[in-house]
Homo-oligomer: A and B are copies of this chain.
Amino acid sequence: MSSACAALIDDLVSANHILFVEGVVDGFGHVSVRHDRRDDHFLLACGVAPATVTAEDIVEVDYDGVVHDDAGRRSYLERYIHSEIYKARPDVMAVVHSHSPAIIPFGVTRATLRPVCHMSGFLGLSTPVFEIRDTAGEDNDMLVKNAALGKALAASLGPHQFALMRGHGSVTVAHSLKLAVARAIWAEMNARLQSEAMRVAALAGHAGDADGGVRYLTAGEAKGSMAINETVVDRPWDFWKSRAKAALAGMTRI
């Protein structure tokens, strides 16, 4: 059990459940938050599926990716995604890694994921793509399983709030846990909406227009809506938490 504040651990458990119920993670995927009482650790679940995470499953990991757990439990192979982003980005307090379905197609094409609605302004004017082959070569197993790959991913992310991972998924970051969860949900939603908007525009005969006939948020709209959404994140968080509790009521780890 972590030495972090119980309320923070409780939020991290909720974050795991919410991300599952909202369709962002399934058997795989993970979410972390910086420790609130020591600056050399962050919190992550041991290697269990997000839907079944409990407070007892939360372990502490340091920024070299070493798991610190009295019971000797391990965590996810890809915990370096988290450790290296935290090292590179002092502003980031929480990280989500997921394989959500609408995101993956954007990562394997040269289409640019861009905000089509007011919830996804945090995507800015474009989103970076992490190509693992650039670091690991053509013969790799696709996993960010060591510090070098984590560092390369953090470099791809740069100052952004979101990065695609080619053939794999994405990472979402924020200066709070609730906001990281919300953004991971909104990124998946935006990918669905953008793909459909591109289709509708093409079917209506406007694929040849600027931006393929889709009216994306302007830079000002992206910035403005990102700011206002940070102030209202409690409403969807509370709702998602209610829904997750109801949805997972009958589910216990086998």
Q: Interface residues, chain A, CB within 8 Å of chain B?
A: 26-28, 47-49, 51-52, 77, 99, 101-102, 104-106, 108-112, 115-119, 121, 133, 137-143, 166-169, 189, 192-193, 195-207, 209, 212-218, 220-221, 223-225, 227-228, 232, 235-236, 238-243, 245-246, 248-254
Q: Which residue of B lies closest to A109 (CB)?
A: B201
Which residue in B48, B109, B197 is a CB contact (below 8 Å) of A197?
B109
| Distance from A78 Cβ to chain B, minimum over Cβ atoms (Å) | 11
Which residue in B204, B235, B239, B246 is a CB contact (below 8 Å) of A212?
B204
- A167/B200 contact (C-beta < 8 A), A221-B141, A238-B253 known: no
> Is A99 within 8 A of B111, CB to CB?
no
Q: How far is the CA of A119 from the CA of B232 in the complex (A)?
A: 35
> Is A110 within 8 A of B213, CB to CB?
yes
| Distance from A25 Cβ to chain B, minimum over Cβ atoms (Å) | 10
| Distance from A126 Cβ to chain B, minimum over Cβ atoms (Å) | 13
| Distance from A26 Cβ to chain B, minimum over Cβ atoms (Å) | 7
Kindly list chain B residues whose C-beta atoms are within 8 Å of the C-beta of A248.
246
- A140/B224 contact (C-beta < 8 A), A167-B215, A167-B217, A239-B51 known: yes
11 chain-A/chain-B pairs, Cβ below 8 angstroms: A26-B239, A27-B235, A52-B238, A105-B199, A108-B117, A108-B216, A110-B206, A121-B142, A139-B220, A142-B228, A249-B250
